[in-house]
A and B are shown apart, each in its own frame.
Chain A
Amino acid sequence: MNARSWRTLRRHKSAMAGLLTLAILTILSLSVGFLSPYHPRQMDPDRLLETPSARHLLGTDDAGRDVFTRLFYGGRVSLVIGLAAVGLAMLAGIPLGAMAGYFGGWVDMTVSRLIEIMLALPTILLAILIAASMGKGMDTLILAVGIVGVPQFARQVRGSVLALKEHEFVLASRALGSSPWRTLFHDVVPNAMGPIIVLATLGVGTAILTAAGLSFLGLGVETGTPEWGAMLHEGRRVFRSSPHVAVFSGLAITLAVLAINLFGDGLRDALDPSSK
Chain B
Amino acid sequence: MISYVARRLLAAVPLLFIVSFGVFVLSRAGGRDPVDAILGEKGTPEARERVTRELGLDRPLLVQYGIYLRGILTRGDFGESYIQRGVKVTERIQRRFPPTVELTVAAMFLAILLGLPSGLLSAVYKSTWVDYLSMTVSLLGVSIPVFWLGLLLILAFGGWLPVGGNLDPTIDIAARTGFLTIDCVLAGNARALGNALAHLVLPAAALATIPLAMTARIARASMLEVLGSDYIRTARAKGLRGSAVVLKHAFRNALVPVVTLLGLEFGYLLGGAVLTETVFDWPGMGTYLIEAVFQTDSVQICGASLVIAVTFIAANLAVDVLYVWIDPRIRYERS
Is A246 close to B, CB under 8 A? yes
Residue numbers in A under 8 Å from B67 (CB-CB): none
Task: Give residues of chain A (120-162) contacting chain B, Cβ–Cβ below 8 Å.
Answer: 120-125, 128-130, 132-134
Which residue of the partner chain, among A128, A209, A247, A262, contacts B145 with CB atoms under 8 Å?
A: A209
Chain A residue at minimal CB-CB distance from B11:
A116
Please judge, given known A-B contacts A216-B275, A217-B275, A254-B145, whether A128 and B293 are in contact too, CB under 8 Å: yes
**In the complex, how many residues of chain A place their beta carbon closer than 8 angstroms to a beta carbon of chain B?**
40
B148: min CB distance to chain A, Å: 3
Is A195 close to B, CB under 8 A? no
A188: min CB distance to chain B, Å: 25
Residues A250 and B143 in contact, CB atoms below 8 Å apart: no
Interface residue range, chain B: 35 or more
Task: Give residues of chain B (22-36) contacting chain A, Cβ–Cβ below 8 Å.
Answer: 22-23, 26-27, 29-30
Residues A258 and B305 in contact, CB atoms below 8 Å apart: no
User: In whole angstroms, how far apart are the Cα atoms of A224 and B313 in the complex?
Assistant: 37
Q: Which residues of B contact A (CB under 8 A)?
A: 15, 18-19, 22-23, 26-27, 29-30, 139-140, 142-148, 151-152, 154-155, 158, 267-268, 270-272, 274-275, 278-279, 289-290, 293-294, 301, 305, 308-309, 312-313, 316
Which residue of the partner chain, among B151, B272, B313, contacts A236 with CB atoms under 8 Å?
A: B151
Residue numbers in B under 8 Å from A250 (CB-CB): 145, 147-148, 151-152
Residues B151 and A125 in contact, CB atoms below 8 Å apart: no
For the A-B complex, the count of residue pairs with Cβ-Cβ distances under 8 Å equals 119
User: In whole angstroms, how far apart are the Cα atoms of A128 and B270 in the complex?
Assistant: 13
Beyond A120-B313, A213-B275, 8 extra complex contacts between A and B, CB < 8 Å: A120-B316, A121-B309, A123-B267, A129-B26, A217-B275, A250-B151, A254-B144, A254-B145
Residues A124 and B151 in contact, CB atoms below 8 Å apart: no
Residue numbers in B under 8 Å from A117 (CB-CB): 15, 18-19, 22
Residues B275 and A124 in contact, CB atoms below 8 Å apart: yes
Residues A253 and B270 in contact, CB atoms below 8 Å apart: no
